[in-house]
A and B are shown apart, each in its own frame.
Chain A
Amino acid sequence: MTQKGIHTHRLLKEVEKAALQHKTRRHFLKESAMGLGALAMGALFPGCEPKSSVFGNNFFDPTNPLAPKPPMFPGKAKSVIYIHMAGAPSQLELFSYKPELSKLDGQDCPPSLLEGKKFAFIRGVPKMLGPQAKFKQHGQSGLWLSENLPHLSTVIDDIAILNSVTTDQFNHAPAQLLMHTGTARLGRPSLGSWVTYGLGSENKNLPGFVVLTSGGNNPDAGKSVWGSGFLPSVYQGVQCRSEGDPVLFINNPHGMDRDLRKASIEAINKINQEQYEEYKDPETLSRIAQYEMAYKMQISVPEVMNIADEPAHIHAMYGTKPGEANFANNVLLARKLVEKGVRFVQLFDWGWDAHGDSAGNAVDIGLVNKCRKVDRPITALILDLKQRGLLDDTLVIWGSEFGRTPMMENREGKKMPFKGRDHHAEAFSMWMAGGGIKGGTSYGETDEIGYSAVSGKVEAFDIQATILNQLGFDHEKFTFESQGRPFRLTDVSGKVIHQILA
């Protein structure tokens, strides 16, 4: 943010804060010297800048950290649905059409592809493995897509495919961390945390950053992929669950109904008000507001998490089954959440690894089954967002942490029982849609066997920069001061992928 930008931003925020206090805590404002103090200082020194070298632009109001904030410039997208297939689906059976690879099927991998390379499991000389799916061109754009994604092919003109995504990590946990936090090590804030920190949330009664998981496991990197790192913990993803409480502890204890909860929160807040009058600590006011909000969330969260009331045609469209914990349900929930103003919805579906060590992990069996569970709902999501007029300002991202090798895996130098591919960092596919993305685009080309990116190479930082750009942030200026220096999601890299922008 420029200095001027910072200043404008801060003023806007103060006005906003004042307005909020006026609305929600009218009777407290007068007594809240903290609020007044801030305003008075601002008025006294109209030209004064924060000591930016020390404080950077760490803007959040601890008493209302999720208040909506304007971006640096008007963005195309207001919210994000990020769908991550944990385990890494094979691009060669989905998006990357490689007829030449069929011809090499079963042959020894040429040494030039192996020299100086490291693989997670491939050892010695593996065999090449031809594509295990048929491809066709679709839509007006004529983009290639495999038979594993028959539904998605009907919306091909709404999505932009990135075919030359690369990474430098070939293990799941570090690669997922890189994709979502900008570093392969644990401990940095996730994309969703950055976005929620930057923009706050439109819905006061729901978390700003919601995480939904399916596939039976958390992603390999655990909750760190939605952690807040050095950002305040309020910006971490809140996991909404399909079993037990939809958000932890949202339900009252058994036997405590809503009226009694209301009475108890009223009693708590009455006493807290007295405490405030004694101590005048603004944090106490904030706590009163948080208890009110908690009470509202107890209605709004179960409401939004309940998909049973959706009409039958919506269930048919997504393939959802209320009551189950599955990916389709999560996709429908994602739509409901962004419709309600949730800023960032992150989906993780586990179980896309494909080493060929079991049928479930084979590119011609397990992958096909996983695609069946995913193809319909992701397509429905695009159609549904579109018919509701939400696709224009909702950015949808589908991807994973890396891709798969054109070679058949030979773990420890041995033939695997099924057809599998090893982790591959040098070329894989992702797609984006909505939120100012140019549909029917394909960007980046790989060589004729899909081993290396030949053109249009992008990495995690570029994708992150693009997402931030669509939301109205310059990724190079969107920083947070921690441990004595400004941190960026994209560290020292990242270029917006203008080629896929509308």
Chain B
Amino acid sequence: MKNRILFFSGLLVLTIPVIIYLFPRQEIDYNTQVKPILNKKCIACHGGVKQKAGFSLLFREEALGNTESGKPAIIPGNPGASELIRRISINDPEERMPFKHEPLSPEEIDILTLWIKQGAKWGEHWAYVSIQNQEVPEIKSAWIKNEIDPFILEKLEIENLSPSAEADKPTLLRRVSLDLTGLPPTERIAKKFLDDHSDKAYENLVNDLLASPHYGERWTAMWMDLARYADTRGYEADRSRTIWKYRDWLIRAFNEDKPYDEFLTEQMAGDLLPNPDDAQYIATAFHRNTMTNDEGGTENEEFRTAAVLDRVNTTWSALMGTTFNCVQCHSHPYDPFKHDEYYKFAAFFNNSRDEDTQAEYPLLRQYKGADSLKLLKLSSWLKENVSPEKGDEYYRLLKTWQPTINSLQCDEFENAALISSWYAGLRNNGSCRLPRVTLDDKNRLMFRYTTTLTGGIWYIYLDSLNGSLLKTIPLQDTKGEWKILTSQLPSQTGIHNLYFRYFNPTLQSFEKTGVMFEWFQFGQQFPGKDKTGYKSALNAFNDLMAAEVETTPILVENNKELFRKTHLFERGNWLVHGKEVTPEVPHLLNPMDNQMPKNRLGLAHWMTDKKNPLVSRTLVNRVWEQLFGFGLVETLEDFGTQGIPPTHQELLDHLSWQFMNDFNWSLKRLLKEMVMSATYRQDSKTNDQLLMKDPENKLYARGPRTRLSAEQLRDQTLAASKLLSTKMYGKSVMPFQPGGIWRSPYNDDVWKMSKDEDQYRRSIYTYWKRTAPYPSMITFDAGAREVCVTRRIRTNTPLQALTTLNDSAYFIMARSFAINMQVANDLDVEIQISKGYESLFFKPISGKRLAALSELYFVALNKFTKDKNAMHEILGGRVPNNNPKTAALVTVANALFNLDEWINKN
């Protein structure tokens, strides 16, 4: 990192004066010449956060407007009359800007002067301009394999560097397999490639890998960071959350190569598509991976709001490479996003039904066995007998229990309380209010409640406890279970506050809660009363509403009655509401299509519109980073003026254009383009001269060499040791983990080691607890996924060494690998080690390596021959060849799994 800081700053200092002196009359470029000076020297006091003296340089209209002095500071075309130039040039420290800081350099003053003279034009930052089709540089070279390469070669030639030759086949085989599938190649694929001497060999390999079901698992691992996927809810108790079907949705979507525009649309707004199917609902769990707080005494609205804002921030940083969270409190300090634009954007997300409830409503309800058949019959009855609107309404109720009003909306508790912050609970003669219920044409109340008492009566009054009695409902004992009850209501009009009172003559104590409510659903009676089969349809409906189902948290949009207004939060404080706002995208970017609804679906269309400058670039850059170790824009999460500028902007734009237009948003085609390039296929060996010139390989004169991700490393080792289970999908599993990791208060969940092959599933299936994630993955730089992880920063630490050396999970793999090495080969230990090495790296072992490992083998053999106890411990007592030789080979296997070449891809 540091070396690159030096490297780039060196370039910067050098280039600016050169440009001025060589081309004094050349047009000044705002983005590359002016904006960096403003960002560095001016904007901290005259930008989005502070506008000292009423002067801001963020937007042109602001910068040219009158300041507090009553005059503008910049007069386009007339630097001599511009206060800005006077103030940066003057010597008097009381007046000179930047105030109390180093003055601008003469070169910087020259640039600003010339810029104002030329009209003080504001340029648009590259990342906010729509993507254009790029011309591929016309360079001839035998090295070039596809259109990526001329872009790379052009820069290399400027730097007087030449690209590296193609890596040898074994290295390429391992590299591309790990990159595309997250696993080493299977024996079959490896053999096929190594034996294939045709020109098509590599392309065939790539095609095989892209067709592998493990491809989807590997790219799901990447996406889980962005989706902040976890199997728990976060915060204090950090209880379990059942959301793994979303992970499975991702695997399928990647494997079937769902076009990226659809892939995003379904995740952002699957619930708003016409007649969404289960998969489309499950896709929306993307934004239900936000944390919820189960801690007693928490304010549900606070954490609902936090989840909404997290959706905004994730949408921008993960999907549109922009740090929008700055704008939560004030206008963006450096980029032209205004404070209210944050909340206009938040308004798209502020009308989902979730409210930090205990059950994490809304949930998709997936029926099991006979119930799913019942649902099928009922839905065809509805189709035949009632209006499509009614049919849809009832079908949605069955699939989502929505729209319902959560009882946590109740207030004005008297001898009543919101139990555990979630359930309205009433004691004898207690009362509370359910505010602002729309009762127009509602003649049916369905509600979910629990009580252990008989004789309870629930009175519902209109508008006050002394108001007219709307309904009296006797509440039967549910024996502590939650039950749904339906009751008729007399028709009403308008919006009313409903007041509840509970009375139970059998309940002596005034301290004891008599009944708890979870939700209320006001609607119309089950339709089709006059149709044949009505009764059994109604029965089926009631049965299904109460049926035991599999659930997944999803997004469901508020209907008109539950519509929530959105306000700006003053300085980001959710308790201080500013003006009301409606959904809108920032003015700086492509406008939203007028035909589109102003909801999440419209937003998804806007994001996947080919005019959107950020979505395609962000994805292409992220995929590049996955293969090459760094993005073309290193700051994957920030393409703004504060991010690190792209190394190859034309290439990024070229690929982003291709991705949308030529590849029709196909990730597989994009990946194929990248891995087929000569750039990718280069040997990753370097030398002193290259390291000096380009320490971090930003020019790509050599192939990528990066440490494997936590998931790749574990999965690779599992595969090599032949322990890896290829079972796909399903509940998250718990592989070996040392004791004492999980200790959440108020939560009795324990890490219960999975049985049999479930111990050896791919890492994406490992149960992810936010407040105590799987330790070995955290050590290898995985994030806790409390919020979206936009980029993992790779480190190199002794704790990593200790993990791969000593973690039982890794040692079991070494044991298994050793036994395979021994069984598969003849008795000569050198052959065993050589073949073992070859099975990992697909090439013969070097003499030095073999010597080092053989020496280790004999040290170990000597020890285990003398110390049988240690031998049994090393072998764990359950192996075919229970002898010192096997134990010594385990030591060798443990060393192999700690080699730098194993932990990295070369």
Interface residues of A (CB under 8 A from B): 3, 10, 31-34, 36-38, 40-42, 44-45, 47-55, 58-63, 65, 118-121, 123, 170-174, 185-187, 207, 213, 216-218, 220-224, 227, 232-234, 236, 238, 241, 243-245, 247-257, 259-261, 263-268, 270-272, 274-276, 278-284, 286-288, 290-291, 293-294, 297-298, 350, 412-415, 423, 481, 483-485
Question: 7 shortest A-B CB distances, which residue pairs?
Answer: A222-B771, A120-B297, A255-B873, A412-B417, A33-B691, A186-B786, A255-B874
Residue pairs across A and B with Cβ atoms less than 8 A apart, 19 shown, are A45-B10, A48-B6, A48-B9, A52-B40, A55-B5, A171-B295, A172-B236, A186-B786, A232-B795, A243-B740, A256-B874, A264-B860, A268-B898, A274-B849, A275-B901, A279-B685, A294-B805, A412-B513, A483-B790
**For A36, A54, A275, A413, which residue has the most chain B Cβ atoms within 10 angstroms?**
A54
How many residue pairs bridge A and B at CB < 8 Å?
Answer: 337
Once the chains bind, are A37 and B235 in contact (CB under 8 Å)?
A: no
CB distance from B678 to the nearest CB of A (A): 19
CB distance from B714 to the nearest CB of A (A): 14
Once the chains bind, are B6 and A264 in contact (CB under 8 Å)?
A: no
Given contacts A54-B642, A223-B772, A244-B740, whether A291 and B1 have CB atoms under 8 Å apart is: no
Given contacts A223-B772, A233-B795, A260-B863, whether A283 and B904 have CB atoms under 8 Å apart is: yes
A276: chain B residues within 8 A (beta carbon): 900
- The chain B residue with its CB closest to the CB of A411 is B417
Once the chains bind, are B323 and A484 in contact (CB under 8 Å)?
A: yes
Given contacts A37-B695, A413-B417, whether A297 and B906 have CB atoms under 8 Å apart is: no
Q: Does B831 contact A (CB under 8 A)?
A: no
Q: Does B291 contact A (CB under 8 A)?
A: yes
Once the chains bind, are B856 and A218 in contact (CB under 8 Å)?
A: no
| Whole-angstrom CA separation of A415 from B512 in the bound complex | 11
Once the chains bind, are A248 and B3 in contact (CB under 8 Å)?
A: no
* Interface-located stretch among B242-250, B466-474, B604-612, B632-640: B632-640
- The chain B residue with its CB closest to the CB of A187 is B787
Interface string of B838-863 (1 = CB under 8 A from A): 00000000101100110110011001
- The chain B residue with its CB closest to the CB of A58 is B1
Given contacts A45-B13, A220-B295, A224-B786, whether A484 and B738 have CB atoms under 8 Å apart is: no
Q: Does B799 contact A (CB under 8 A)?
A: yes
Contact partner, A65, options B39, B795, B895, Cβ 8 Å: B795
Q: In chain B between 677 and 695, which residues have their CB closer than 8 angstroms to a CB of chain A?
A: 684-693, 695
Once the chains bind, are B872 and A255 in contact (CB under 8 Å)?
A: yes
Once the chains bind, are B870 and A255 in contact (CB under 8 Å)?
A: yes
A207: chain B residues within 8 A (beta carbon): 799
Once the chains bind, are B891 and A256 in contact (CB under 8 Å)?
A: yes
Contact partner, A31, options B3, B238, B326, B688, Cβ 8 Å: B688
Q: In chain B between 736 and 765, which residues have their CB closer than 8 angstroms to a CB of chain A?
A: 738-740, 743-745
- The chain B residue with its CB closest to the CB of A259 is B863
Given contacts A48-B10, A263-B856, A413-B417, whether A483 and B323 have CB atoms under 8 Å apart is: yes
Once the chains bind, are B692 and A36 in contact (CB under 8 Å)?
A: yes
| Whole-angstrom CA separation of A66 from B860 in the bound complex | 33
Once the chains bind, are A249 and B805 in contact (CB under 8 Å)?
A: yes
B638: chain A residues within 8 A (beta carbon): 483-484
Once the chains bind, are A213 and B743 in contact (CB under 8 Å)?
A: yes
Once the chains bind, are B692 and A222 in contact (CB under 8 Å)?
A: no
Once the chains bind, are A280 and B323 in contact (CB under 8 Å)?
A: no
**For B689, B783, B900, B903, which residue has the most chain A Cβ atoms within 10 angstroms?**
B900
CB distance from A55 to the nearest CB of B (A): 5
Once the chains bind, are B874 and A254 in contact (CB under 8 Å)?
A: yes
Contact partner, B39, options A33, A53, A58, A256, Cβ 8 Å: A53
Contact partner, A51, options B5, B640, B707, B783, Cβ 8 Å: B5
Once the chains bind, are B807 and A249 in contact (CB under 8 Å)?
A: yes
| Whole-angstrom CA separation of A484 from B327 in the bound complex | 12
Once the chains bind, are A223 and B705 in contact (CB under 8 Å)?
A: no
Once the chains bind, are B745 and A54 in contact (CB under 8 Å)?
A: no
Once the chains bind, are A283 and B692 in contact (CB under 8 Å)?
A: no
Given contacts A264-B895, A272-B900, whether A253 and B293 have CB atoms under 8 Å apart is: no
Q: In chain B between 3 and 61, which residues have their CB closer than 8 angstroms to a CB of chain A?
A: 3, 5-10, 12-13, 36, 39-40
Once the chains bind, are B102 and A3 in contact (CB under 8 Å)?
A: yes
Once the chains bind, are A244 and B296 in contact (CB under 8 Å)?
A: no
CB distance from B36 to the nearest CB of A (A): 7
Once the chains bind, are B236 and A173 in contact (CB under 8 Å)?
A: yes
CB distance from A392 to the nearest CB of B (A): 31
Once the chains bind, are B784 and A223 in contact (CB under 8 Å)?
A: yes
A220: chain B residues within 8 A (beta carbon): 235-236, 295, 745
- The chain B residue with its CB closest to the CB of A64 is B796
Contact partner, A272, options B296, B642, B779, B899, Cβ 8 Å: B899
Once the chains bind, are A267 and B806 in contact (CB under 8 Å)?
A: no
| Whole-angstrom CA separation of A481 from B8 in the bound complex | 16
Q: Does B811 contact A (CB under 8 A)?
A: yes
| Whole-angstrom CA separation of A286 from B808 in the bound complex | 25
| Whole-angstrom CA separation of A118 from B301 in the bound complex | 13
Interface string of B487-531 (1 = CB under 8 A from A): 000000000000000000000000101000000000000000000
| Whole-angstrom CA separation of A48 from B8 in the bound complex | 10
B323: chain A residues within 8 A (beta carbon): 483-485
- The chain A residue with its CB closest to the CB of B685 is A279
Given contacts A41-B7, A59-B2, A275-B901, whether A222 and B798 have CB atoms under 8 Å apart is: no
Once the chains bind, are A267 and B855 in contact (CB under 8 Å)?
A: yes
Given contacts A123-B413, A222-B771, A485-B326, whether A233 and B778 have CB atoms under 8 Å apart is: yes
| Whole-angstrom CA separation of A413 from B852 in the bound complex | 73
| Whole-angstrom CA separation of A258 from B158 in the bound complex | 53
**For A123, A222, A241, A350, which residue has the most chain B Cβ atoms within 10 angstroms?**
A222
A484: chain B residues within 8 A (beta carbon): 323, 326, 334-335, 635, 637-638, 640, 642-643
| Whole-angstrom CA separation of A34 from B786 in the bound complex | 35
CB distance from B10 to the nearest CB of A (A): 5
Q: Does B90 contact A (CB under 8 A)?
A: no
| Whole-angstrom CA separation of A293 from B784 in the bound complex | 26
CB distance from B806 to the nearest CB of A (A): 4
CB distance from A242 to the nearest CB of B (A): 9
B643: chain A residues within 8 A (beta carbon): 54, 484
Q: Does B194 contact A (CB under 8 A)?
A: no
- The chain B residue with its CB closest to the CB of A40 is B692
| Whole-angstrom CA separation of A272 from B849 in the bound complex | 9
A270: chain B residues within 8 A (beta carbon): 848, 852
Q: Does B644 contact A (CB under 8 A)?
A: yes
| Whole-angstrom CA separation of A260 from B887 in the bound complex | 12
Once the chains bind, are B860 and A260 in contact (CB under 8 Å)?
A: yes
Contact partner, A268, options B102, B863, B895, Cβ 8 Å: B895
B684: chain A residues within 8 A (beta carbon): 279, 281
B317: chain A residues within 8 A (beta carbon): 483
CB distance from A89 to the nearest CB of B (A): 16
A50: chain B residues within 8 A (beta carbon): 5-6, 9
Once the chains bind, are A61 and B686 in contact (CB under 8 Å)?
A: no
Once the chains bind, are B860 and A263 in contact (CB under 8 Å)?
A: yes
| Whole-angstrom CA separation of A172 from B238 in the bound complex | 13
| Whole-angstrom CA separation of A412 from B297 in the bound complex | 10
Contact partner, B798, options A221, A272, A294, Cβ 8 Å: A294
| Whole-angstrom CA separation of A32 from B10 in the bound complex | 20
A415: chain B residues within 8 A (beta carbon): 511
Known: A33-B687, A290-B796. 13 other contacts (CB 8 A): A48-B9, A51-B12, A53-B40, A232-B781, A233-B795, A236-B778, A247-B799, A249-B738, A249-B802, A254-B870, A260-B863, A294-B805, A481-B642
CB distance from A251 to the nearest CB of B (A): 6
CB distance from A237 to the nearest CB of B (A): 11
Once the chains bind, are B236 and A41 in contact (CB under 8 Å)?
A: no
Q: Does B770 contact A (CB under 8 A)?
A: yes
Once the chains bind, are A271 and B852 in contact (CB under 8 Å)?
A: yes
A278: chain B residues within 8 A (beta carbon): 685
B743: chain A residues within 8 A (beta carbon): 213, 216-218
CB distance from B189 to the nearest CB of A (A): 25
B879: chain A residues within 8 A (beta carbon): none
- The chain B residue with its CB closest to the CB of A236 is B778
